[in-house]
């Protein structure tokens, strides 16, 4: 298989959670695709549904979550949602792997690191425990953990945060998966360690020609590693495009607000950092129209009545916003903002 | 590891010393006369003689020193109520009987409690969980002697499935062990259930699922060991309860354990027996706590003591 071939396709994904207050519609009609060797970043603030989307692909959502009947998740053309639980266990860790936000809690504290990695291998092949341990050692060396042989026999509490995340990556990649989902892999780490981990993921991605889905709210991380970005808000994708398109020509007011709230070296001490006011809508009773309307600086009457369809700005770039409609009032819109549709 | 154990044993001896000292002076200060029931209407001179025979004519401080001196040789002294009977013999003969009941009950408590707790925890909110939880609340609320009476009436008296009381045959174990175990099974179930539920919500369980473990593997390799940690804590005091937990039941089932001696010694102010048994129970308790600390290390590597003994 060559690079660029489509391996994952998510269509109209809906995920809802049963809570005491009612049904929380965490993900509302998300569609996207991922190619081999490509990095897709899903960005958005906390609670926008990015983690739920990635866990839905793995089908490791908590019990009270339900994936909508209209949803489709194709892995190389095979709909994962139609697989039995037993068939799905052969997909998890082998075809698609996942690493998590907090390496401090994501490893079993009472199991040796080597055994945890080896378990991932024995789950998917018939090799002996001994050979699996050997393979685990190779994996630890691959993620550049020094003294790997010694480390293999240690427990997670003997590892630092960065080392644990490396061990997590070794565990996730032990079966050479086609897709790696990295759910905020660097959020809990120091900035210097963050860069090391991202470099490691990128190197291994090249080596294994994996598709990577990077879930994060850190735009700095995204800029350095992603090929494509999709911006999520309130369980929907508001804008998608390449890194350059999203960073230099944002086409949705929410993306614009996210970019403006990133501190820059050029920011003077006296300048106030932009901060987006308000909170995301309650998804137990989602608002009519555009979910961002209530916090939007450029909101119009239509925004609160009807949810806009995605407007294509360029071949790979699209955004769901009424500003792209020719009739929109675009007063005060910054030059940075890229308009699409019929002008 | 050795250094850790030695240190713990050192503290244990200090603890025991304090317990015995405190008990000694407390029972001496308590009202009641250990020889009152023995001497009855005897003339005063005879009373004095008996008092002197047990050293009770000496001041408290001196008695304390003599007692502690004997204790250093492992001698608990002679019972005042039962003439000529050594406290050491009482413990040697009767403690194993109590222990047999206690160990069997503890075994069922732990095994069944862990099993039921995991079943309930894994099926949280389903019918099985609700049934187990209702039974647990009932079993915790009902005292063991009520169970004992019910068991004696139904199983022993009505259905003739097991002897109602007595000692000697293996059948005599059935009812007291069951009555003793029920409450413990319920508490272990309760703790194991909540422990299982909390471990099941941990991030590393999601990791285990994400690497393709089946539900069974997740349970066996990841949930089980981690949810055992609070159970180990609970088991420490329970080990001490092996000897002291079934006093009331021993009376109900006429089992010649330590229970009868302990109760009688308190009502008769039998100083040596009270002190001896208290010291014995305290020793068992302290020893079981040290044991728990060691077992902890096997279950949870985070609290395992460094092999080099640096700590």
CATH 1.10.3720.10 is held by the domain B1-311: yes
Structure tokens at A11: 């269509």
Please, which residues have CB within 8 angstroms of residue B250's CB and are 6 or more apart in sequence? B98, B101, B176, B256, B257, B258, B259, B260
Q: Which residues pair with A215 in a beta bridge?
A: A42, A183
pLDDT < 70 regions, chain B: 245, 304-311
Q: What average pLDDT does chain A have?
A: 90
pLDDT of amino acid A278: 86
- Mean pLDDT in residue range A90-105: 93
DSSP letters, B24-86, are HHHHHHSS--TTHHHHTT--HHHHHHHHHHTTTTS-HHHHHHHHHHHHHTT---B-SSSTT-B
Backbone φ and ψ for B9, nearest 5 degrees, come out as -65, -40
pLDDT in tens, A121-145: 999 989 999 999 999 999 999 999 9
3-state secondary structure of A104: coil
Q: Are A318 and A240 in contact (CB under 8 A)?
A: yes
Angstrom distance (rounded) from CA B154 to CA B149: 9
Q: Are A213 and A179 in contact (CB under 8 A)?
A: yes
pLDDT of amino acid B270: 87
Task: Provide the Cα torsion A319, A321, A323, A324; round to 10°.
Answer: 40
- For B9-20, b/e burial (b = at least 16 CB within 10 A) is eeebeeebeebb
Query: Which of the residue ranges A3-7, A24-28, A243-247 would you say has the lowest mean pLDDT?
Result: A3-7
In chain B, domain spans: 1-311
Kindly state the helix (H) or strand (E) to which residue A240 belongs, with its residue range.
strand A236-242
Angstrom distance (rounded) from CA B115 to CA B104: 17
Task: For chain A, say whether B220 makes contact (Cβ under 8 Å).
Answer: no
Judge residue A8's burial from the number of C-beta atoms within 10 Å of its C-beta, 0-12 exposed, 13-18 middle, 19 or more buried. buried
Please, which residues have CB within 8 angstroms of residue A323's CB and are 6 or more apart in sequence? A253, A298, A330, A333, A337, A339
Phi-psi sector, B114: left (phi>0), alpha (psi -120 to 50), beta = alpha
- Mean pLDDT in residue range A65-69: 94
Judge residue B51's burial from the number of C-beta atoms within 10 Å of its C-beta, 0-12 exposed, 13-18 middle, 19 or more buried. middle
Task: Please choose, from the candidates A217, A225, A162, the residue with its C-alpha nearest in 3D space to the C-alpha of residue A198.
Answer: A225
Q: Are A313 and A324 in contact (CB under 8 A)?
A: yes
Determine whether the interchain pair A109/B301 forms a contact, defined as Cβ–Cβ distance below 8 Å: yes
pLDDT of amino acid B305: 56
pLDDT of amino acid B307: 47
Per-residue pLDDT at A342 exceeds 70 = no
pLDDT in tens, B209-223: 999 999 999 999 999
Angle at CA of residue A322, ends A317 and A326, nearest 5°: 90
Per-residue pLDDT at A343 exceeds 60 = no
- In A85-128, which ranges are continuous DSSP H helix? 85-91, 113-122
pLDDT of amino acid A329: 81
Neighbours of A326 (CB within 10 A): 8
Q: How far is B234 from chain A (nearest CA, A)?
A: 19
3-state secondary structure of A28: strand
Q: Are B289 and B232 in contact (CB under 8 A)?
A: no
Q: Are A38 and A206 in contact (CB under 8 A)?
A: no
A19, A54, A110, A184: best mutation site toward chain B, by most B Cβ within 10 Å?
A110
Please, which residues have CB within 8 angstroms of residue A274's CB and are 6 or more apart in sequence? A257, A260, A261
pLDDT of amino acid B243: 79
CA B254 to chain centre: 19
Chain A positions in Cβ-Cβ contact with residue B212 (cut-off 8 Å): 89-94, 120, 123-124
pLDDT of amino acid A53: 95
Please, which residues have CB within 8 angstroms of residue A291's CB and are 6 or more apart in sequence? A233, A234, A235, A236, A280, A281, A307
DSSP for residue A336: T
pLDDT in tens, A274-322: 888 888 899 999 989 999 999 998 888 899 999 998 989 888 899 999 9
Structure tokens at A83: 């697989």
Task: Please choose, from the candidates A199, A130, A134, the residue with its C-alpha nearest in 3D space to the C-alpha of residue A162.
Answer: A199
pLDDT of amino acid A234: 93
Q: Are B213 and B139 in contact (CB under 8 A)?
A: no
The overall pTM is greater than 0.80: yes
Helix axis angle, B271-299 relative to B229-244, nearest 10°? 160
Determine whether the interchain pair A111/B202 forms a contact, defined as Cβ–Cβ distance below 8 Å: no
Neighbours of A263 (CB within 10 A): 10
pLDDT of amino acid A3: 53
Of A92, A97, A100, the CB nearest to B203: A100
Angstrom distance (rounded) from CA A222 to CA A240: 13
Of B203, B211, B300, the CB nearest to A119: B211
Angstrom distance (rounded) from CA B278 to CA B87: 11
Q: How far is B203 from chain A (nearest CA, A)?
A: 5
3-state secondary structure of A242: strand
Task: For chain A, say whether B197 makes contact (Cβ under 8 Å).
Answer: no
Domains and CATH numbers, chain A: 6-226 (3.40.50.300), 250-324 (no CATH)
Angstrom distance (rounded) from CA A208 to CA A203: 9
Task: For chain A, say whether B311 makes contact (Cβ under 8 Å).
Answer: no
Determine whether the interchain pair B214/A98 forms a contact, defined as Cβ–Cβ distance below 8 Å: no
Q: How far is B210 from chain A (nearest CA, A)?
A: 5
- Mean pLDDT in residue range A21-33: 93
- Identify the closest residue of chain A to B302 by CA–CA distance: A157
**Confidence category of residue A193, pLDDT binned at 50, 70, 90:** confident
Of B203, B300, B301, the CB nearest to A105: B203
In this structure, the strands spanning A72-75 and A78-79 are antiparallel
Q: The tokens 């879930």 sit on which residue?
A: A215
Determine whether the interchain pair B210/A90 forms a contact, defined as Cβ–Cβ distance below 8 Å: no
Task: For chain A, say whether B300 makes contact (Cβ under 8 Å).
Answer: yes
């Amino acid at each position: 298989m060559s690079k660029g071939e489509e391996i994952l396709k998510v269509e109209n994904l809906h995920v809802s959670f049963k809570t005491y207050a009612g049904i929380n519609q965490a993900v509302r009609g998300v569609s996207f695709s991922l190619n081999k060797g490509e990095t897709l970043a899903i960005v958005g603030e906390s609670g926008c549904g990015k983690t739920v989307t990635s866990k839905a692909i793995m089908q490791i959502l908590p019990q009270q979550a339900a994936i909508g009947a209209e949803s489709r998740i194709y892995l190389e053309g095979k709909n994962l949602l139609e697989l039995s639980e037993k068939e799905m266990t052969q997909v998890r860790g082998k075809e698609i792997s996942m690493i998590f936000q907090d390496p401090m809690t994501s490893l079993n504290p009472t199991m040796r690191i080597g055994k945890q990695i080896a378990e991932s291998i024995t789950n998917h092949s018939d090799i002996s425990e001994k050979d699996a341990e050997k393979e685990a050692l190779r994996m630890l060396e691959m993620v550049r953990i020094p003294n790997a042989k010694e480390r293999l026999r240690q427990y997670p509490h003997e590892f630092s945060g960065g080392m644990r995340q490396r061990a997590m990556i070794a565990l996730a990649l032990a079966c050479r998966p086609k897709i790696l989902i990295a759910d905020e892999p660097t959020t809990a780490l120091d900035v210097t360690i963050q860069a090391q981990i991202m470099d490691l993921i990128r190197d291994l991605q090249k080596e294994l020609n994996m598709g990577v889905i990077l879930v994060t709210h850190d735009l700095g991380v995204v800029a350095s590693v992603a090929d494509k970005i999709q911006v999520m808000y309130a369980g929907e994708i508001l804008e998608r495009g390449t890194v350059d398109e999203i960073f230099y020509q944002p086409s949705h007011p929410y993306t614009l607000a996210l970019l403006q709230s990133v501190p820059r070296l050029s920011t003077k001490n006296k300048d106030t950092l932009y901060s987006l006011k308000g909170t995301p809508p309650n998804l137990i009773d989602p608002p009519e129209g555009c979910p961002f309307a209530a916090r939007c600086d450029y909101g119009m009457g239509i925004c609160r009545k009807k949810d806009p369809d995605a407007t294509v700005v360029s071949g790979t770039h699209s955004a769901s916003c009424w500003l792209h409609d020719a009739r929109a009032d675009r007063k005060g819109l910054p030059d940075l903002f890229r308009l699409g549709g019929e002008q | 590891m050795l250094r850790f154990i030695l240190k713990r044993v050192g503290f244990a001896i200090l603890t025991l010393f304090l317990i015995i000292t405190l008990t000694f002076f407390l029972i001496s200060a308590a009202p009641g006369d250990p020889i009152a029931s023995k001497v009855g209407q005897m003339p005063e001179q005879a009373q004095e003689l008996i008092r002197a025979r047990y050293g009770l004519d000496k001041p408290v401080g001196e008695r304390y020193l003599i007692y502690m001196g004997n204790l250093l040789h492992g001698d608990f002294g002679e019972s005042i109520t039962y003439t000529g009977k050594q406290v050491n013999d009482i413990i040697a003969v009767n403690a194993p009987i109590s222990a047999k009941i206690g160990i069997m009950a503890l075994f069922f408590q732990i095994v069944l409690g862990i099993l039921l707790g995991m079943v309930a925890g894994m099926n949280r909110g389903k019918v099985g969980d609700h049934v187990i939880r209702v039974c647990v609340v009932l079993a915790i609320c009902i005292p063991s002697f009520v169970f004992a009476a019910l068991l004696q009436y139904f199983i022993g008296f009505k259905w003739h499935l097991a002897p109602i009381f007595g000692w000697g045959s293996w059948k005599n174990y059935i009812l007291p062990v069951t009555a003793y175990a029920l409450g413990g099974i319920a508490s272990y179930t309760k703790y194991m259930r909540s422990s299982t539920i909390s471990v099941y919500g941990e991030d590393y369980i999601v990791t285990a699922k994400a690497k393709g473990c089946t539900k069974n593997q997740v349970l066996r390799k990841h949930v089980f060991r981690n949810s055992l940690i609070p159970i180990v804590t609970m088991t420490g005091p329970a080990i001490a309860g092996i000897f002291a937990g079934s006093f009331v039941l021993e009376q109900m089932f006429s089992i010649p354990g330590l229970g009868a001696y302990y109760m009688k010694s308190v009502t008769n102010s039998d100083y040596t027996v009270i002190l001896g048994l208290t010291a014995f129970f305290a020793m068992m308790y302290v020893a079981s706590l040290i044991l728990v600390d060691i077992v902890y290390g096997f279950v949870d590597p985070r609290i395992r003591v460094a092999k080099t003994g640096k700590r």
